[in-house]
Amino acid sequence: MALYLKKKLDNDALIGVWQVSETEEELKELSSTPTDEMEEISFIRSESLRKQRLAVRALLSTMFDEKVYLSHHDNGKPYIENNPVNISITHTDRYVAVILHEEENVGIDIESLDRDFSAVEKRALSEEEIEDLEDDKRNEQLAIYWCAKEAIFKLLSVYNLDFAEQIEIERFRPRGEGELEATFINKDDEEEFDLEYITFDRHVLVWVVGD
């Protein structure tokens, strides 16, 4: 079993991270996936995506005492059919991660630092955020910016969100782990968020819990 991390946070959120190191057949044995969902997964052409879906299922098996039924709203936001807990899910080829909270909305995102994030600069950052980039850790900083904005997007589930104009991340210096401050701007209203991040095995993971 490749459970990489399972941690209860001070705000009562529970985070789990699974390293996808098993074969597809091994993940099927570990995942306890309901038959209808297993049939749906079988139609996915990409082996990597099939393994990611099964790894999410294997991770959920370690985070819940009972068998859970994972589904998605029309906007893609996940939910558990037989449990009212709030959930957010993210994955790469090598890791999947989940965050749960009994009361608050949550968001989580993971990315590989081996990815080139240069396109993120123009697509998702404000001019002020671009000015804050530092050359020696530029790609890592862009990855953290992207994950932070994705995590907030997942928490809010707002359509047509402009990452550059509506989500502002306060200046930060990338470290192995840390905290981020963000502001969501929606018309005349503003909402503040505190996020946390960690970097490990050439990956960055960012999460946020709503107030």
Say how far apart CA 189 and CA 158 lie, in whole Å: 14
52-81 pLDDT, tens digit per residue, is: 999 999 999 999 988 888 998 888 899 999
Tell me the pTM.
0.95
Give the pLDDT confidence of 146-161 residue by residue, as tens digits. Answer: 999 999 999 998 888 9
Inter-residue contact 13 to 99 (CB < 8 Å):
yes
Domain segments of the chain as ranges: 3-103, 110-209
- CATH superfamily of the domain spanning 3-103: 4'-phosphopantetheinyl transferase domain (3.90.470.20)
| Average per-residue pLDDT for the chain | 93
pLDDT of 1 reads 59
Strands (E), 92-186: 95-101, 106-112, 167-169, 177-186
Instruction: Quick: pLDDT tens for 111-155.
Output: 999 999 999 998 999 999 999 999 889 999 999 999 999 999 999
